[in-house]
Amino acid sequence: MKLKKNIATSESGFIFNPATGDSYSANPVGSDIILLMKDNKSIAEIKKNITSKYDVDDSQFDKDYDDLLAQLRDNNLLEH
């Protein structure tokens, strides 16, 4: 799953979709994951990065990562 190319992100968690004009705010974990996705990191790399930075186990991360993808999909921020 990849973010749409035109989506703008900032380190503070601000997300902007220039195609629709919609803007979003992400919490720190969400922001970190989205920035890693923007850098085209693989799921394994994202997982390693997040689980080493935050106090979370692999299974919790997997569940929440899938949920974040669902949120991004619902908001039309992912490539089809």
Please give the residue ranges that form the binding site for other proteins (CB under 8 A): 15, 22-30, 33-34, 52-56, 60, 64-65, 67-68, 70-72, 74-75
Shortest approach of other proteins to residue 6 CB, angstroms?
17
Shortest approach of other proteins to residue 74 CB, angstroms?
4
Nearest to 63 by CA among 76, 79, 77, 51: 51
Nearer residue to other proteins within complex by CB, 21 or 40: 21
SS3 19: coil
Nearer residue to other proteins within complex by CB, 42 or 54: 54
Let me know: does 11 contact 31? Beta carbons within 8 Å.
Answer: yes
Shortest approach of other proteins to residue 34 CB, angstroms?
8
Nearest to 62 by CA among 76, 48, 72, 78: 48
SS3 48: helix
Nearer residue to other proteins within complex by CB, 5 or 55: 55
